[in-house]
Structure 1
């Protein structure tokens, strides 16, 4: 009997010793191994939205830096970034290559509402994590029907409601004109704005105009909107057209209260080309630190950013908020991969992406943290209204939570 008991305890001891080993067992999905993690991206390095290409360049440089430092948990990042020209059909072609030929573990920071809309169902059918999309369309926060897709930007609709609330509070008798891109991106902002104005919206908005991404300019639309007699202008445009609109508004002598969507609020990429003097008074939104704001001069994260840009992206403009954005996405992606440890399956990647708890990205505004859950994929819900003073964006009040 004693011999049997000794054998039983010995077997139990072996089982307990094996348990930690089993728990630590490495698990890999496509594109992951002991030595590398393949990450895919599509972005417009060419075409009408090429100003956003700096995002991909910064992300590539950041991952290269990490690789030189030993990678993430000992694995190098193979970041494959392809030019989709801001064309949905091209984005579909590029994504299929990344998923079916390159066999990436996941995609990150694919840019634009139209392009991401074109690949949305495909990524979910293939069960490939479609993470940190460079767009704030509300549809990316739908974990029930699209559990493999998660956006990055704050919701366009929530941002637009922030502007609407400011107008109702400070310009209750406003006559509003709106310019918007004629696609899902523009319409998402428009919906949030009209929802925010509520019952007063139909009376307050006296003129709207649209443009196509293939249009050479929006000059004629600005002239039309000015002639409406509007004294408030909501500018829903991507960088190229935002700069044109700002410049034209000034050139024709129109002086509305001018709201500019955050995705085109870069001082370097938009306001400088438009003319800093012509940008004075613009109202927008921020959720990350503005590289042109002197108050961040001694901020450790901003110092790291400027040093990184000088050393790693010398042809990039550190004053371009799109570059700051790219580094933020790379920082969050790095944190996510650290959280995954050696369980680099697509399922675990999504599980970890849905479990951030008040994570402070170094370049995000203080208090603007990332929190996600299995039923809520929206990363940010805190935003700050800002106004341009001719040199940098100045905060209007404190950051507020907007749903």
Structure 2
């Protein structure tokens, strides 16, 4: 590749070239002249199996990329293992990926509790734990964990935005919260309460949590409705979010319903809950929704839909996990391309902590991606959207922090 070509690629993708174009080849584990080996764990089974579409989409992305020649002549071998959304299983599978398969990096593994279980291990081994599909605050601690970086909007940022929307919509709202009893739920609730500010003490009338091993959230929903709340914040994974939305409808409870983006998938959450039960839901997101008519002529959306059709995933187009997987794989593609022949673990971390994308395919207008060696959080803005009819509709201005 010529210097001019490299410079043009840098302009196209906006990723820093610092350390990226070494004069000589430098390889870390899992890399050769023909292969780049990555690993991940996904909940292909268990209570969060709806998220598995992310891994399926990423596998399809790299399969198609490999058929087209790969990255700088190398095929990407993504080894994606089932952890059942169980932290002990995540540890077992991740050790296999690192010690037996000798992957270059752990890429886009799903789940807050599951990634927490391998956080210290991967950092002690100096193995990149990157583009994680979780928005917990702990992933942006470069000083203590320099090998970790997530690629999901911070849960707390979403929570703050939704709380402020609730107060603006219903200044005297009586608010109830249902959340998952782990760092996933706690980060959302922390941000939501921060957004409420001093009003949390007077306007928050009921809180309930659930465990991922629970069969239903029926008892929690009865408690929350019984508290007289007219506003409901739901920080749940897809299975339990669908249950809660459907149960609220069955109970005749019609609060202003606010949901975290992890529970906003039309195919995985709203359709199982019932589209009639989902009308008026509000969420905070960064990516375009395929079912939104606003994007029917958008070139990036057309590329996404074409990809889904060409890879046999056309029935999953409306699911948020597909958009997340597609976008995450695309960014990893660009990062690896930018690294050139310097495919060491250290240089990979330089690449993921020097992203500067003013725009990126499938991101909503006004949403950029930027990381630095001091701040590994790629997202600093989001948008609100409301479910109307059969699709999400974006509204309001870009919300920045």
Q: Please tell me the TM-score bracket, short chain as reference.
A: over 0.9
SS at match of 2:327: helix
The answer to whether the 8 A contact 1:44-1:111 is kept is yes
* Correspondence for 1:372: 371
Q: Return the alpha-carbon distance in structure 2 between the equivalents of residues 316 and 119 of structure 1.
A: 33
State the 1:312 CA deviation. Answer: 0.7
Larger displacement relative to structure 2 (362-371 or 281-290)? 362-371
Could you give the per-residue CA deviations for residues 18-60 of structure 1, whole angstroms, max 9, x where no partner exists?
A: xxxx952000000111110000010100000000111100000
Q: Return the alpha-carbon distance in structure 1 between the equivalents of residues 229 and 60 of structure 2.
A: 45
* Correspondence for 1:191: 190
The answer to whether the 8 A contact 1:57-1:313 is kept is no
* Correspondence for 1:319: 318
Alignment of 1:228-247 (within 5 A): 228-247=227-246
State the 1:398 CA deviation. Answer: 1.7
Larger displacement relative to structure 2 (304-313 or 176-185)? 304-313
Alignment of 1:249-264 (within 5 A): 249-264=248-263
Could you give the per-residue CA deviations for residues 51-78 of structure 1, whole angstroms, max 9, x where no partner exists?
A: 0111100000100001000000110001
TM-score w.r.t. the length of structure 2 is 0.93
Could you give the per-residue CA deviations for residues 238-284 of structure 1, whole angstroms, max 9, x where no partner exists?
A: 00111111100011000111001111101111111111111001010
Alignment of 1:279-290 (within 5 A): 279-290=278-289
Q: Does 2:153 align with 1:158?
A: no
Q: Return the alpha-carbon distance in structure 2 between the equivalents of residues 57 and 272 of structure 1.
A: 20
Q: Return the alpha-carbon distance in structure 1 between the equivalents of residues 114 and 314 of structure 2.
A: 27
TM-score w.r.t. the length of structure 1 is 0.93
The answer to whether the 8 A contact 1:372-1:379 is kept is yes
The number of aligned residues is 381
* Correspondence for 1:14: none
The answer to whether the 8 A contact 1:265-1:321 is kept is yes
State the 1:201 CA deviation. Answer: 0.8
Aligned alpha-carbon RMSD (Å): 1.2
Larger RCO (CA within 8 A; separation ≥ 6): 2
State the 1:359 CA deviation. Answer: 4.7
SS at match of 1:396: strand
Structure (1 or 2) with the larger CA radius of gyration: 1
The answer to whether the 8 A contact 1:387-1:395 is kept is yes
Unpaired runs of 5+ residues, structure 1, are 1-21
* Correspondence for 1:24: 23
Q: Return the alpha-carbon distance in structure 1 between the equivalents of residues 55 and 82 of structure 2.
A: 9
State the 1:396 CA deviation. Answer: 2.0
* Correspondence for 2:275: 276
Could you give the per-residue CA deviations for residues 167-225 of structure 1, whole angstroms, max 9, x where no partner exists?
A: 22222211110000011111111111112212221211111011110111111111110
Q: Return the alpha-carbon distance in structure 1 between the equivalents of residues 182 and 67 of structure 2.
A: 41
* Correspondence for 2:13: none
Q: Does 2:73 align with 1:105?
A: no
State the 1:316 CA deviation. Answer: 4.5
SS at match of 2:234: strand
State the 1:296 CA deviation. Answer: 1.1
Unpaired runs of 5+ residues, structure 2, are 1-20
SS at match of 1:46: coil
Q: Return the alpha-carbon distance in structure 2 between the equivalents of residues 175 and 91 of structure 1.
A: 39
Larger displacement relative to structure 2 (33-42 or 364-373)? 364-373
Q: Return the alpha-carbon distance in structure 2 between the equivalents of residues 52 and 313 of structure 1.
A: 18
* Correspondence for 2:11: none
The answer to whether the 8 A contact 2:37-2:78 is kept is yes
* Correspondence for 1:304: 303
Q: Return the alpha-carbon distance in structure 2 between the equivalents of residues 66 and 112 of structure 1.
A: 26
